């Protein structure tokens, strides 16, 4: 582990500059061609020449860019948390079954209840996209609660990892059964959701999305010091005064919040949580979380904004997000597997 005082300021400035550039590019370019001058005028508080242009910028592109930035940071940060917690460079947000739990919640809503939550018994009925979001969030929350419950009694992180995998497999099994019994229309809508999309956060729901992600990221940033201690082993961390079990619960809680909310609104976005922490380690050569975690959050936003940008086709169509993210993530993972002895991880 590199010394905490090692200077990586240049990487922060470079990452911030790239992030701002890609954020603006997501506002300037899209499936509908808009004059850059019109975009800048609207962003600065002016009125566009056409009302539809203003709607596209403020109601579609801006929320989508903010969503991509925060979702990328959330997934990358949760990936780093899990890789540190389990001392495993191939750990990812889907590892503990939280993503599968969210997917199960969506499957129940779309394939079992016909897209509706609630009814006459509860006095509250949710339909459409809101029902999908609530279903995904509840599914992720249930799996997270199960994992945290086991973490209070299971001391071995390896055993906890296995339990998470088994919970994920159980969720996947139920999803397969629901797909088998569902209508063709339900299966189609569930498949579309599973492709991932950063455009699912409407303006009225953006504050909730931003605040929830901010809470999860704040928890993660407050865990930097104990995470550095965990790199040296749980026994050594305990000797330094770190309450390992409590830290583990907080790391799982932060991961659950970040992954659950992101999956609920954006679908099960692949590879960002797995690949981005490795990209940062390769670039900076550090395993110190004082540098690694903030840069991972910035790079996660960069990768998500880049992937969101290249999903737009010149003819006006849109490529599914999960058809693009593996193009970025898979080469990184392959490189890590082939050169893992040269990369600083947990030492």
pLDDT of residue 111: 81
Q: Crossing angle, helix 289-310 and helix 325-339, to 10 degrees?
A: 140
Mean per-residue pLDDT for 140-153?
Answer: 83
Q: How confident is the model at residue 224 (pLDDT cuts 50, 70, 90)?
A: very high
- The stretch 116-133 carries a mean pLDDT of 60
Write out pLDDT tens, residues 236-254: 778 878 888 888 889 988 9
CA 9 to each of CA 225, 294, 300: distance values in angstroms, whole numbers, following the listed order: 19, 11, 18
Q: Count CB neighbours of 317 within 10 A.
A: 9
The highest-confidence range among 92-101, 150-159, 303-312, 326-335, by mean pLDDT, is 303-312
pTM of the predicted model as reported, rounded to 2 decimal places = 0.87
Exposure on the CB side of residue 204, measured as CA atoms within 13 A: 2
For domain 9-342, give the CATH superfamily. ABC transporter involved in vitamin B12 uptake, BtuC (1.10.3470.10)
Phi, psi (rounded to 5 degrees) for 338: -80, -25
Q: What local confidence, expressed as pLDDT, does residue 136 receive?
A: 83
| pLDDT attached to residue 187 | 86
Window from 15-19, 70-74, 99-103, 231-235 with minimum mean pLDDT: 231-235
In this prediction, residue 120 carries a pLDDT of: 45
> What's the confidence (pLDDT) of residue 341?
58
- State the residue for tokens 């339900």: 186
* C-beta contacts of 325-332 below 8 A and 24+ residues apart: 325/196, 325/269, 325/270, 325/271, 325/272, 326/270, 326/271, 328/271, 328/272, 328/275, 328/303, 329/270, 329/271, 329/272, 329/274, 329/275, 330/271, 330/275, 332/275, 332/278, 332/279, 332/282
Banded model confidence at residue 184, pLDDT cuts 50, 70, 90 = confident
Mean pLDDT taken over the chain? 84
Which residues are CB-contacts of 223 (< 8 A; sequence separation ≥ 6)? Answer: 81, 247, 250, 251, 254
Distance CA 171, CA 99 (A): 10
Greatest CA separation for the chain: 65
Dig out the tokens for 261 from the structure.
């909310």
Percent of the chain at pLDDT exceeding 90: 26
Number of Cβ within 10 Å of residue 1's Cβ equals 16
* CA distance linking residue 308 with residue 294, whole number of Å: 21
Question: In terms of Cα–Cα distance, which of 25, 40, 17, 34 is closest to 305?
Answer: 25
User: Is pLDDT of 121 > 50?
Assistant: no
303-318: per-residue pLDDT in tens? 999 999 998 876 667 7
Residue 300 vs residue 53, higher pLDDT: 300
Which residue would you say has higher pLDDT here, 2 or 100? 100
Query: Alpha helices of the chain — where are they, by DSSP H?
Result: 9-28, 36-43, 51-55, 62-85, 98-107, 128-151, 157-181, 184-194, 206-222, 224-230, 234-239, 244-266, 272-284, 289-310, 325-339
Q: Where are the domains of the chain?
A: 9-342
> Residue 314: what pLDDT?
66
Which of 3-12, 18-27, 32-41, 280-289 ranks highest by mean pLDDT? 18-27
Look at residue 344 and tell me whether its pLDDT is greater than 80.
Answer: no
Specify the residue for token string 């890590």. Answer: 336
Q: Do 147 and 97 meet the contact criterion of CB atoms below 8 Å apart?
A: yes
pLDDT for residue 97: 82
The size of the chain, in residues, is 347
| C-beta separation of 32 from 166 below 8 A | no
Q: Which comes out higher in pLDDT, residue 224 or 344?
A: 224
* Res 347 pLDDT > 70: no
User: What is the arithmetic mean of pLDDT over 10-17?
Assistant: 91
Distance CA 169, CA 161 (A): 12
pLDDT at 342 over 60: no
The answer to whether 109 touches 117, Cβ cutoff 8 Å, is yes
| 258 C-beta neighbours (distance < 10 Å), count | 30
Provide mean pLDDT across the span 206-224.
94
Q: What's the pLDDT score for residue 122?
A: 45
* Out of 33-47, 55-69, 256-270, 328-342, least confident range: 328-342
Q: Is it the case that residue 2 has pLDDT exceeding 60? A: no
Which tokens hold the place of 172?
């996947």
* Residue 116 banded pLDDT, cuts 50, 70, 90: low
């Amino acid at each position: 582990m590199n010394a905490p005082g090692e200077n990586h300021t240049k990487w922060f400035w470079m990452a911030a500059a790239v992030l701002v550039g890609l954020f603006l590019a997501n506002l300037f370019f899209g499936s509908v061609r808009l004059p850059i001058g019109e975009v800048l005028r609207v962003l600065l508080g002016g009125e566009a020449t056409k009302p539809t242009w203003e709607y596209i910028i403020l109601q579609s592109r801006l929320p989508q860019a903010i969503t991509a930035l925060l979702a990328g940071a959330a997934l990358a940060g949760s990936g780093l948390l899990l890789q540190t917690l389990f001392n495993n460079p191939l750990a990812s947000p889907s590892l503990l079954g939280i993503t599968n739990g969210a997917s199960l919640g969506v499957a129940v809503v779309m394939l079992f209840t016909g897209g509706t939550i609630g009814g006459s018994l509860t006095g509250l009925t949710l339909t459409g996209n809101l029902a999908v979001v609530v279903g995904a969030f509840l599914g992720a929350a249930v799996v997270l609660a199960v994992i945290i419950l086991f973490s209070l009694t299971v001391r071995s992180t390896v055993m906890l990892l296995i339990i998470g995998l088994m919970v994920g497999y159980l969720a996947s099994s139920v999803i397969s059964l629901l797909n088998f019994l569902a209508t063709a229309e339900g299966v189609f809508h569930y498949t579309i959701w599973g492709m991932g999309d950063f455009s699912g956060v409407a303006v009225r729901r953006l504050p909730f999305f931003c605040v929830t992600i901010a809470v999860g990221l704040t928890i993660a940033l407050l865990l930097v010091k104990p995470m550095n201690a965990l790199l040296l082993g749980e026994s050594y961390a305990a000797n330094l005064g770190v309450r390992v079990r409590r830290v583990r619960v907080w790391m799982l809680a932060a991961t659950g919040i970040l992954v659950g909310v992101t999956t609920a609104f954006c679908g099960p976005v692949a590879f960002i949580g797995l690949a981005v922490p490795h990209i940062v380690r390769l670039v900076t050569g550090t395993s110190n979380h004082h540098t690694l975690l903030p840069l991972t959050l910035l790079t996660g936003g960069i990768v998500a904004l880049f992937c969101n940008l290249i999903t737009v086709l010149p003819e006006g169509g849109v490529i599914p997000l999960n058809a693009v993210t593996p193009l970025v993530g898979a080469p990184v993972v392959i490189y890590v597997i082939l050169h893992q002895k040269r990369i600083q991880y947990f030492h």
